[in-house]
Each structure stands twice: as C-alpha cells, then as structure tokens.
C-alpha cells in the first residue's frame, strides 16, 4: 500500500510477524514487510 505522491508505504516495523506488531508509514523499499495481501 502506497501513499500516492509521497513515495511512502505501509511498513511492518522490524519485519515482525507476531500479532500486535506495529505498522508505520515508511519510505518504499520493496521489502517483504511492505507487501500486503487482501483477503
């Protein structure tokens, strides 16, 4: 998920996978912690 015109993405802090892991807006890096699946 990206913020249009801002080059920032929704990012999982520290590549965490546990329930309750914080998310943040961060520079887009293409990392797995910035890939989202809609279910």
Domain boundaries along the sequence of the chain: 2-34
Instruction: With 0.85 as the threshold, say if the pTM is over it.
Output: no
Distances from the Cα of 11 to the Cα of 7, 18, 37, 39, angstroms: 12, 14, 13, 18
In 1-39, the DSSP E strands lie at 2-3, 8-12, 23-27
At residue 3, does pLDDT exceed 90?
no
| CB of 3 closer than 8 Å to CB of 9 | yes
* CB-based contact 21:12 (threshold 8 Å): yes
pLDDT tens-digit readout, 8-33:
999 999 999 999 999 999 999 999 99
């Amino acid at each position: 998920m990206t913020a249009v015109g801002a080059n920032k993405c929704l990012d999982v802090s520290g590549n965490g996978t546990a329930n309750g892991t914080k998310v943040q807006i961060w520079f887009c890096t293409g990392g797995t912690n910035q890939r989202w699946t809609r279910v």
